[in-house]
A = this chain, B = another copy of it.
Amino acid sequence: MSHAAPDARGLLGPPPSVAFIVSRLGFEVSQALADGIEPLGIDPQHFGLLRALLVMEGQSQKAVGTSLGIPPNRMVALVDDLESRGAVKRTKHPDDRRAYALSLTPKGRKLFERALEVVISVETRLCGSISKDDRSRLLELLSRLTSFSGAPDGVHPGLTSQP
């Protein structure tokens, strides 16, 4: 049935809340983002790692992992994936022979840029129904909302797991 519960909408239930809308919209956007980069052969976690490596060039797996909130065992698989497709490189760490120094290859940078284009296309689709000014206003309002996690600015806690 395409209209199983025609009365289930908007009548009862909670009054419209920012929390519910953001929660729902956030899920949909995450899904769209994941679907969009999937053809590139990566998932959101890979994207987050590429993004971090852009500014953490040469740091160890451990350092990058803790900064992203990703535990060691998962870092292994993540870096394995990206290394096997030539996007990142493990080289010996100059100061600590136990550790690897992670770095992006040119191929990795291109991969990140293609993923960024996906983000932009999702943004365009998402905000296509409001004016440029309204988008700015929205951005400004959203940035003033109290963040729940203490995660640093560019980090998406959904891409980690740590409590």
Assess A13 versus B54: contact at CB under 8 Å? Given A5-B67, A22-B25: yes
Complex: chain B residue closest to A156, CB-CB: B24
**Which of A80-88, A89-97, A121-129 participates in binding chain B?**
A121-129
Task: Please name all residues of chain B whose beta carbon is closer than 8 Å to the beta carbon of A11 when the two chains form the complex.
Answer: 55
A30 within 8 A of B: yes
A141 within 8 A of B: yes
Would you call A31 and B154 a contact (CB within 8 A)?
A: no
Task: Please name all residues of chain B whose beta carbon is closer than 8 Å to the beta carbon of A141 when the two chains form the complex.
Answer: 130, 134, 137-138, 141
**Chain A interface size range:** 35 or more
CB A18 to nearest CB in B, in angstroms, measures 6
Q: Is the interface of A mostly helix, strand, loop or mixed?
A: helix
Choose among B67, B122, B129, B138 the residue that contacts A138 (Cβ–Cβ < 8 A): B138
In the docked arrangement, what's the CA distance between A30 and B97, Å?
42
A77 within 8 A of B: no
A39 within 8 A of B: no
Would you call B146 and A5 a contact (CB within 8 A)?
A: no
Would you call B145 and A127 a contact (CB within 8 A)?
A: yes
Would you call A16 and B143 a contact (CB within 8 A)?
A: yes
A135 within 8 A of B: yes
In the docked arrangement, what's the CA distance between A141 and B158, Å?
24
In the docked arrangement, what's the CA distance between A19 and B31, Å?
11
A56 within 8 A of B: yes
A23 within 8 A of B: yes
